[in-house]
Amino acid sequence: MTEQTAEALPTASTSHVSKYTRNQPYLSEVLVNERLTGPDSEKETIHVELALEDGMTYTPGDAVGIIPTNRDVVVEGVLKALGFTGSERVLDHYKVEISLDEAVRTRLAIGKLARGSVNQFAKLCGENAPAGLKALLGVDNKAAAEEYVWGREFVDLITDFPGIITDPQQLFNILQRLTPRMYSIASSQDAHPGQVHTTVRVVRYNSHGADRQGVCSGHLGERCQVGKVMPIFLHENNAFRLPEDTSAPVVMIGPGTGIAPFRSFLEHRQVHGEPGRNWLFFGEQRSISDYLYKDQFAEMQKQGVLTRLHTAFSRDHLKKVYVQDRMQENAAELFEWLETGAYFYVCGDATRMAKDVETALLDVIAKGSKGTLEYAAEYLAAMKKQKRYQRDVY
């Protein structure tokens, strides 16, 4: 629900000003942390609302940077495997003295093991690396090293090859820095003053006999309950913006957590009373458990903000149905929208979905224009030039 009237609102701005950065983050309170997916879902997708200080502003399309901390159980596992107590003193990346516990918890990437970390770790042994470790080094053993790091974390390396780290400071040469994760913003600030929302799939899996979590999604899913405070900052993304012409139609393709920026776009257009037509394609596994923001989109449809809404629930059918299938089914109308100047946006999975959606889009253009695929590629290139084809894929 919106909390301001259109007349009272400032015009959409494309930049934000904030004194907070990834190096000097804002300590934000968690206002809401709720599961969007049903109990039977194969996914745990959550909606998180965070407090902002006056003066922290963002534009739909921007991201929120979240600085995670490592899981207690993993931190303890690392300290135990190293034989340290955690009270040892080390210098952080800025040469500030902190405890080893704090370093492992908040500064070092002890999650997914990187091949580079294995190499740096082995360097500590000089010529005396154990045979098992030697078998992971050098170009000839690249495949073996890749197989080893897959599904493993730093704690596995120091458990498999104990006693190699003798000085806690060595960890800073072996491990990458724990970096913030960027999440597409799912809210319009004009609809939710003083807040920023995001949509996150919590990654949990079991590998090599241990339960694991995504570093930041696990942090949000497990350790960021309402009332907790965590470091965040806002990240501008000028490459993903609503059209300046508020009457231009927009088409949004947002399966899974790719829905996030489109909730932001739609809230923005709703709260500003922008006249442009809006068409959303959303895809997930099952309608019963995975229809993210279902009620809100139904309300937007009722109010006429959401002109067209197509869903593709891949596992509700014997044969999988994806967002690009819905595009194909509505090809003529979709091409008509493009011909009237529609902006086309894609957000979500980069590896397969975004490519398949682009292939479908080229097909829609070719069919609609009764042209060749070469002509469709030129048409899409022209759309890109006019900033009418924008993607935020990961």
Interacting residues toward ligand NAP by CB under 6 A: 43, 200-201, 203, 214, 217, 255-258, 283-285, 314-315, 320, 322-324, 348-349, 352-353, 356, 394
Q: Which is nearer to ligand NAP, 174 or 327 (CB)?
A: 327
Minimum CB separation from ligand NAP for residue 389, in Å? 17
Q: Which is nearer to ligand NAP, 165 or 224 (CB)?
A: 224
Q: For residue 392, what are the β-bridge partners?
A: 347
Distance CA 370, CA 219 (A): 50
Minimum CB separation from ligand NAP for residue 315, in Å? 5
* Residue 35: both structure tokens together: 């599961």
Minimum CB separation from ligand NAP for residue 80, in Å? 28
Minimum CB separation from ligand NAP for residue 198, in Å? 9
Minimum CB separation from ligand NAP for residue 350, in Å? 6
Minimum CB separation from ligand NAP for residue 26, in Å? 21
Contacts of 98 (CB under 8 A, 6+ apart): 89, 90, 91, 92, 107
Q: Which is nearer to ligand NAP, 16 or 204 (CB)?
A: 204
Q: Which is nearer to ligand NAP, 158 or 216 (CB)?
A: 216
Minimum CB separation from ligand NAP for residue 127, in Å? 41
Q: Which is nearer to ligand NAP, 36 or 174 (CB)?
A: 36
Minimum CB separation from ligand NAP for residue 193, in Å? 25
Minimum CB separation from ligand NAP for residue 325, in Å? 8
Q: How many CA atoms lie within 13 A of 296 on its CB side?
A: 17
Q: Is 95 exposed, middle or buried (0-12, 13-18, 19+ CB in 10 A)?
A: exposed
Q: Which is nearer to ligand NAP, 174 or 354 (CB)?
A: 354
Minimum CB separation from ligand NAP for residue 109, in Å? 16
Contacts of 211 (CB under 8 A, 6+ apart): 204, 205
**Residue nearest ligand NAP, CB atom distance:** 256
Q: Which is nearer to ligand NAP, 125 or 321 (CB)?
A: 321
Q: Checking phi first, is residue 20 left (phi over 0); if not, alpha (psi -120 to 50) or beta?
A: beta
Q: Which is nearer to ligand NAP, 168 or 255 (CB)?
A: 255
Q: Which is nearer to ligand NAP, 236 or 356 (CB)?
A: 356
Q: Which is nearer to ligand NAP, 200 or 342 (CB)?
A: 200
Print the SS3 string covering the chain. CCCCCHHHCCCCCCCCCCCCCCCCCEEEEEEEEEECCCCCCCCCEEEEEEECCCCCCCCCCCEEEECCCCCHHHHHHHHHHHCCCCCCEEECCCCCEEEHHHHHHHCECCCECCHHHHHHHHHCCHHHCCHHHHCCCCHHHHHHHHHHHCCCEHHHHHHHCCCCCCCHHHHHHHCCECCCEEEEECCCCCCCCCEEEEEEECCEEEECCEEEECHHHHHHHHCCCCCCEEEEEEECCCCCCCCCCCCCCEEEECCHHHHHHHHHHHHHHHHCCCCCCEEEEEEECCHHHHCCCHHHHHHHHHCCCCCEEEEEEHHHCCCCCCHHHHHHHCHHHHHHHHHCCCEEEEEECCCCHHHHHHHHHHHHHHHHHCCCHHHHHHHHHHHHHCCCEEEEEC
Minimum CB separation from ligand NAP for residue 189, in Å? 21
Q: Which is nearer to ligand NAP, 102 or 356 (CB)?
A: 356
